[in-house]
Amino acid sequence: MQLPANLQLISLDKDWQHGQSYPPLGFMPFSESALGNGDSFGLYWPIGREAMEPIVVETWHDEWRIQPHFSSLAAFLKAQAQLDQDDEDSGYVDTPALADDPASPRAAFLAAKELIARQDSAAAIALLEAALAILPEYTDALVALHGQYVRAGRIDEAVKVAIQAIISPPSFGGPPLKALHWLRQQPLPDAESDPIWRSCEQLSFSFGGSKENADYPLLAAAIDTYLEQGKLRSASTLMQTYAELMSAETVSFQERYGFDQAGFIARQIAVGTQLAEGGRDPASLWKVQSA
């Protein structure tokens, strides 16, 4: 995992251990600009971009959400410095303007929503694609882009984005119900198609409040298929999604489905080490340095 420049300017929690399904694997908090309400900013390495510098995200723990505000630590530090210069009382570093951080995933997503409302689909698509180039598992942007691809008649691209939206974590947005319903109407091209596409007729994406849910075995089987196919990014993405969804269920539900959070996280970390770009456990950075 690539560490960012200016790392010495933040108070990174080097003792951070990924012991829960939220925040997602690949996240490491720091104390700057924390409001004391349980939320924090942190570094986050998008899946498949571990060899690049991380983006800066904020946890919204009441909603179990992650907001990808800044494209880099440098962009965050610039916004923080500007806040100090303006002597803002709140001390809160908000989503930057797109002009201030053109690669900010959240700034691009919010601007794209405004463009969609003005029926400027082409410009919205460009911004959403740019956001996803930085953060491929950005569920909110995937859901929005899927709708625009369908509107533009770009069906092959819409299929790929629908699948990516379905497997991407709820902490980054969603739920991808429209994408799922649309995918059910698309004919399978062959027997070797994506496992989520093959099982979309059986998926409900309705979670919580029931004693049984047939979605979990289907998602678990899809993870195994991705691993068999060597699609490690897709497997890592869906594993994070599965972990977040299952962690929101009751303990008795988890036990019925054989979900052990510690064991599952260990499996996530093990799969991450197989990615060409490197592992996804930030704690390993300090283990290497102290060895």
Mean pLDDT of the chain: 91
Average pLDDT over residues 249-274: 94
What is the per-residue pLDDT across 185-194, written as a single tens digit (0 to 9) for each?
A: 998 876 568 9
pLDDT in tens, 108-151: 999 999 999 999 999 999 999 999 999 999 999 999 999 999 99
Residue 280: inside a domain: no
- The CA-atom distances, in angstroms, between 144 and each of 173, 177, 266 are 10, 12, 32
Tally of structural domains, the chain: 1
CATH label of the domain that carries residue 215: 1.25.40.10
Residue 197 pLDDT > 70, yes or no?
yes
**What pLDDT is attached to residue 226?**
96
pLDDT computed for residue 83 by the predictor = 76
Contact 46, 280 (CB under 8 A): no
The pLDDT of residue 108 is 98
What's the token pair of residue 133?
């180039």
pTM: 0.93
> Is a pLDDT exceeding 90 seen at residue 253?
yes
Q: Any idea what DSSP says for residue 67?
A: E
Residue carrying the six token digits 């990014």 = 233
Of 42, 46, 10, the residue nearest 29 (C-alpha): 42
Residue 288: inside a domain, yes or no? no
Please work out, in degrees rounded to the nearest 5, the angle formed at the alpha carbon of residue 85 by the alpha carbons of 84 and 89.
50
Cβ(229)–Cβ(196) below 8 Å: no
DSSP state, 24?
A: P
70 in any annotated domain: yes
Residue 1 is assigned to a structural domain of this protein: no
Domain that includes residue 143, residue range: 7-12+24-82+96-269
Q: What is the pLDDT of residues 158-196, one digit of tens each?
A: 999 999 999 999 999 989 999 999 999 998 876 568 999
Q: What is the pLDDT of residue 288?
A: 47
Here the tokens at position 78 are 């610039």
Question: Mean pLDDT across the stretch 48-74?
Answer: 94
Question: What is the Cα 277 distance to its own chain's centre?
Answer: 17
- What confidence score (pLDDT) does residue 287 get? 57
In a domain, 291, yes or no: no
Domain presence at residue 163: yes
Residue 37: its pLDDT value, please?
75
In a domain, 220, yes or no: yes
Looking at residues 78-102, what average pLDDT do you find? 80
Confidence of residue 290 (pLDDT cuts 50, 70, 90): very low
Whether 282 is in a domain gets the answer no
